[in-house]
Amino acid sequence: MKIVVTGGAGFIGRALVQHLLTATEHSVVNIDKLGYASHPDNSLVDAYAGRYWMEPIDINDRAALEQVFGRHSPDAVMHLAAETHVDRSIDDPLSFVHHNVLGTATLLEVTRSHWRGLTPARREAFRFHHVSTDEVFGDLGADRAARFDENSPYAPNSPYSASKAGADGLDLSRLGTPA
């Protein structure tokens, strides 16, 4: 299986990429714009030649995404790419909307176009996994026993969490709809 991981040079994405390469036989295409929060592991290119590719592009670049999907023909997407720092989102909220909401929309459209070109068997097996944040649910307050779950209402309280909630909404709007 060939998996596209967006944000694969970020904190969580890097760990996911390393896990996929060391614990499975899957191939990984790492799409990351290599911004301020990226920490790429350049040794993976040589260590996993033929199973790992680093594609330094922004998910807002539709043409570049289409080229990567055309070159690699993935079987799944794990979407972790995002602007993530709450303090930065307060200073520059439009950047967070641009990357987290519009970037997700671009990735979804490229993925949908790719999916349409797959054989029926590959379409059936194809998966798109979106990774979000608990920040979309707001603050638990002082109750240390409180927990969020899938039924918790959204209550974003920063431009970061609002942009992630917007990306979640785009993903959910595609759930169960014909591509």
Identify the active-site residue in 52, 55, 58, 160: 160
Identify the active-site residue in 134, 143, 150, 171: 134
Annotation says 48 is catalytic: no
- Comparing C-alpha atoms, which of 113, 121, 129, 139 is closest to residue 175? 129
Annotation says 171 is catalytic: no
- Residue 104, sorted as left (phi over 0), alpha (psi -120 to 50) or beta, turns out to be alpha
- Comparing C-alpha atoms, which of 15, 50, 19, 14 is closest to residue 32? 14
Measured between alpha carbons, how far is 122 from 115 in angstroms, rounded to an integer?
8
Annotation says 154 is catalytic: no
Q: Characterize 63-86 residue by residue with b for buried, 16 or more Cβ atoms within 10 angstroms of its Cβ, and e for exposed.
A: ebbeebbeebebbbbbbbbbbbee
Phi/psi at 106 (nearest 5 deg)? -65, -45
* Helix/strand/coil percent split, the chain, to 5: 45, 10, 40
Identify the active-site residue in 32, 58, 135, 168: 135
Catalytic positions, please?
A: 134-135, 160
